[in-house]
Amino acid sequence: MPSKIIEKIASAPAQSLEKTLELTEELAGKLVNNKPVKKAGAYWATLGPGLTTGAADDDPSGIATYSQTGAQYSFNLLWMAAFSFPLMAIVQEMCARIGLVTGRGLAGNIRRHYPAWVLYVCTALLFIANTFNIGADLGAMAKATQLLLPQTGFYALVIFFTVLSLVLQIFTSYAQYAKYLKWLALVLLAYILSAFFLDLNGKSLVFHTFIPHINFNRDEIFLICGILGTTISPYLFFWQTSQEVEEQIMEGKTSIKLRQSETTDEEISKMRIDVWSGMFFSNLTMFFIIVTCATALYQHGITDIKTAADAAAALKPIAGPFASLLFTLGIVGVGLLAVPVLAGSTAYAMSEAMGWKQGLYRKLKQAYPFYGVIIISMLLGMLMNFLGLDPIKGLIYAAVLNGLVAPVILVLIVQLSSNKKVMNHRVNSRTASTLGWIITGLMIIVGVATIAILISPI
């Protein structure tokens, strides 16, 4: 046992350096071969695109939406975390499977199997939604940083985060970049930890987690659409599919034929573990953000939360400076993860739509159009903040816009993943297809309801 070896090391004579080294090596070997450690290491190695996609889902726009949910409605909409988890996991698994089996990104598959106008409409909608979301996220990161560095100018911070994100995307190798995104995903633990600085009402928390509660008023329906929009987001569909392809390329499957012919049952199994783990982590974070804001803000009469930074600032006098610090650092950290995912998903979609060379594994000089889309999308998002982007409109409407775009893309995803000509024997099961259409129908209903709210008089 490691504990016995440690005792031997501690009791070894000081002059017996050789004996101490032997015992230390033995201890290291025991720790490495320890079954729980080995299992944890193997599990971590399995995680990849699914984990980073799930973490990117909790971007500052999402954090603001979940914060407002808890501040305005306490635990009433907490059930949305458990409800949306299987929905987003099923959709993301379809996207990942499309990428693994076809060896192409989502836009590439749409291009092959649908009229050109369908692809162009989808790509245009994605570009608009993602650019809007990038602008909102950059602004939220700047506002959150000002809580820690109040003397720093807002516009200087927006420029800083834009440049930092571009440098990481353009000048970092994909292997390093993927590792960076994977470890950065752990910043979401800040939101889980922040909840434990509060006195939680366990009975009410459990009840509202599993029992749905809806008032069907205008504001609540609007917020539900925002939650679904920021949870089941179009940019995640394109990113997940393309990242599966990138991972295959890094494994040496450099041609489409290789990627299509060598997709194994083991790869599909690992992908499912990765995707469902990532989506669970994402929704667990959503759950604790709502819990934190419901407990710390709603119960103290603070219901007007316009941004994620507002939530972090409001937490400080109630939950303590450490909880507020964790919340703030989470906004910045997740923003650094989500903004590149937003810009990257746009670049993947547009490059495949236009037949350009694409992929983060390529160097800048090998894929100028691909990286050009990333740069343009980032700069437009940055510019939105210089034009006076309103924080509440920027964050909440970005989530709602995703909710309106998602159904269009979902129809294509379910059709593609159910088509034997596209997927061969790895098509959706009947249950998966049924659930996929139910999810699509739900998103359409919520989207139509939101449009009706937006155009109807108050």
C-alpha span between 324 and 318 (Å, rounded): 9
Segment 123-151 shows an average pLDDT of 87
pLDDT band at 26 (very low <50, low <70, confident <90, very high): low
Write down the pLDDT at residue 47. Answer: 82
- CB under 8 Å to 58, separation ≥6 — which residues? 66, 188, 191, 282, 285, 286, 289, 334, 338
pLDDT at 27 exceeding the cut of 60: no
Q: List, for residues 259-315, the tens digit of each pLDDT value.
A: 777 778 888 899 999 999 999 989 998 998 898 888 888 877 777 776 667 777 776
Q: What percent of the chain has pLDDT over 70?
A: 85
> Which domain covers residue 402, as residue numbers?
60-455
Residue 35's alpha-carbon distances to 2, 30, 50, in angstroms, are 13, 9, 25
49 within a domain of the structure (yes/no): no
Least confident of 9-13, 16-20, 93-97, 384-388: 9-13
pLDDT at 394 exceeding the cut of 70: no
Write down the pLDDT at residue 14. Answer: 47
Segment 398-425 shows an average pLDDT of 85
Structure tokens at 338: 């989500």
- Per-range mean pLDDT, top range of 89-93, 127-131, 185-189, 241-245: 89-93
Q: At what angle do helices 49-57 and 265-296 cross, to 10 degrees?
A: 20
75 within a domain of the structure (yes/no): yes
C-alpha span between 31 and 38 (Å, rounded): 9
Write down the pLDDT at residue 397. Answer: 65
CB 123 within 8 A of CB 354: no
157 within a domain of the structure (yes/no): yes
Residue with the larger pLDDT of the pair 3 and 38: 38
C-alpha span between 81 and 57 (Å, rounded): 13
C-alpha span between 456 and 458 (Å, rounded): 6
pLDDT band at 393 (very low <50, low <70, confident <90, very high): low
Write down the pLDDT at residue 370. Answer: 93
Segment 190-198 shows an average pLDDT of 77
- CB under 8 Å to 154, separation ≥6 — which residues? 139, 142, 143, 146, 385
129 within a domain of the structure (yes/no): yes
Segment 437-457 shows an average pLDDT of 81
Write down the pLDDT at residue 15. Answer: 45
Ramachandran bin of 152, using left for φ above 0, alpha for ψ from -120 to 50, beta for the remaining angles: beta
Q: What percent of the chain has pLDDT over 90?
A: 24
Q: What DSSP state is assigned to residue 59?
A: -
Whose tokens are 């155009």? That residue is 455
pLDDT at 19 exceeding the cut of 60: no
pLDDT band at 33 (very low <50, low <70, confident <90, very high): low
Q: What is the CATH number of the domain that holds 309?
A: 1.20.1740.10
Q: List, for residues 328-372, the tens digit of each pLDDT value.
A: 788 888 888 888 889 999 999 999 988 898 888 888 888 899 999
Write down the pLDDT at residue 411. Answer: 93
pLDDT at 398 exceeding the cut of 80: no
Least confident of 31-40, 50-59, 174-183, 327-336: 31-40
CB 106 within 8 A of CB 250: no
Segment 313-318 shows an average pLDDT of 70
Structure tokens at 202: 């366990």
How many domains does the chain divide into? Answer: 1
C-alpha span between 62 and 227 (Å, rounded): 7
19 within a domain of the structure (yes/no): no
Least confident of 1-15, 130-144, 394-408: 1-15
pTM: 0.83
pLDDT band at 162 (very low <50, low <70, confident <90, very high): very high
Q: List, for residues 327-337, the tens digit of each pLDDT value.
A: 778 888 888 88
DSSP H or E segment with residue 425: none
2 within a domain of the structure (yes/no): no
38 within a domain of the structure (yes/no): no
CB 417 within 8 A of CB 427: yes
Averaged pLDDT score across all residues of the chain = 82
